[in-house]
Amino acid sequence: MEEPFSFSDNLGPLKVIYVYEPSVSLKGVLVVDNVAAGPSIGGLRMAPDVSAQECFRLARAMTYKNAAAGLPHGGGKSVLFADPKSIGDEHKQQLVRAFACALAGEDHYIFGPDMGTDEVCMAWVKDEIGRALGLPRELGGIPLDEIGATGLGLACAAEVAAEFCDLEIKGARVVVQGFGAVGKHVARILGERGAILVGASDTSGTVCDPSGIDINALIAHKDSGSSLSQWKGAQVLPLDATLDIECEIWIPAARPDVIDEANVKRLHTRLVIQGANIPVTHGAERRLHERSVLNIPDFIANAGGVICAAMEYQGASEAAAMQAIEEKVRRNTREVLTRARDEQLLPREAALNLATSRIEAAMRTRRWSLF
């Protein structure tokens, strides 16, 4: 077990709770990082290889993301130590329900879906303790992957960022690494706004056409269950070929750490919009900055999903959620890029300063901060 308080600092975590119930092989951890702005939100992750420290890092990332998005929520995260692929539906349901019950009194934390859990898991949590977001539509949920909440936010971030690097979205060439829930929708929305998709990848490989890919046809192909390497409408290249395709906007929407100091020189783009979480290492972000490639950090650009989930929790309509994503991501991207330009900072430094100043301002209003 990690040393208690080994990862605490001025922002948190407020609580770390270990849950252990051997009769159902339940082992879980909840980290409530910071609740100055309101009850924390952050997903329930189910995976065999997580740790309390990782849970804390994920909770802190949610504190920053929610503060940067201007939501009335702090950051939290919970993890269940189990392999969702091998335990079977019945045991999965038992674990999720038992974990929710064990944390029923922790109303500083609102469950949401994450890796290894989904909207059905959230329906079980809601059934047990009445407190969950990312619910099925029948329970008032807004299906954020289906409607493209995160993709919409990324497209808005790209539009604002384009102004800061003298770029027109109309006619801009776009490459999307990871043509999944996030990648498909950002390609579709940027396409509707005049951009041209010249490259896209999934785990099977990369498709590339410098004259432009038919985005709706590619989405229909992918939705039919086929992989991109089976696409006949463009040249098929190896998996990592997305890095070499010349474009104006490059969007990582697959995995963490895909761009590092060794491969960053392969990117030929003017703008990077981070769809995945931590897809670019800090060293690579610095290299991009030195090459005048504008880079919009993950927790600013990909906040559409959490904004949508927070709106769902408030009982908002789908249309209101989409409008909130547009407004918040545009405003935050503009604020971060203005600060970065005026204060000579990397966009990530400006984004962290923005988030931290909002968290500290909220903390100053809390009773315990007076002592």
Binding site for ligand NAD (CB under 6 A): 144-145, 150, 177-183, 201-203, 239, 253-255, 275-277, 302, 305
The least CB distance from residue 290 to ligand NAD, in Å, is 25
CA atoms within 13 A on the CB side of 224: 11
The least CB distance from residue 261 to ligand NAD, in Å, is 18
Distance, C-alpha 83 to centroid of its chain: 22
Asked if 77 is an active-site residue, the reply is yes
Closest CA to 209 of 181, 232, 177, 230: 232
Name the helix (H) or strand (E) containing 221. Answer: helix 215-223
Given the residues 15, 65, 77, 85, the one annotated as active site: 77
Q: Which is nearer to ligand NAD, 173 or 222 (CB)?
A: 222
Q: Which is nearer to ligand NAD, 33 or 114 (CB)?
A: 114
What SS3 class is residue 180? Answer: coil
Name the helix (H) or strand (E) containing 28. Answer: strand 26-34
The least CB distance from residue 181 to ligand NAD, in Å, is 4
The least CB distance from residue 17 to ligand NAD, in Å, is 24
Secondary structure string (H, E, C) spanning 109-134: EEEEECCCCCHHHHHHHHHHHCCECC
The least CB distance from residue 188 to ligand NAD, in Å, is 13
Q: Which is nearer to ligand NAD, 180 or 210 (CB)?
A: 180
Q: Which is nearer to ligand NAD, 12 or 112 (CB)?
A: 112
- Phi-psi region for residue 268, left (φ > 0), alpha (ψ -120 to 50) or beta? beta
Q: Which is nearer to ligand NAD, 203 or 365 (CB)?
A: 203
Name the helix (H) or strand (E) containing 216. Answer: helix 215-223
Name the helix (H) or strand (E) containing 355. Answer: helix 347-364
Active site residues: 77
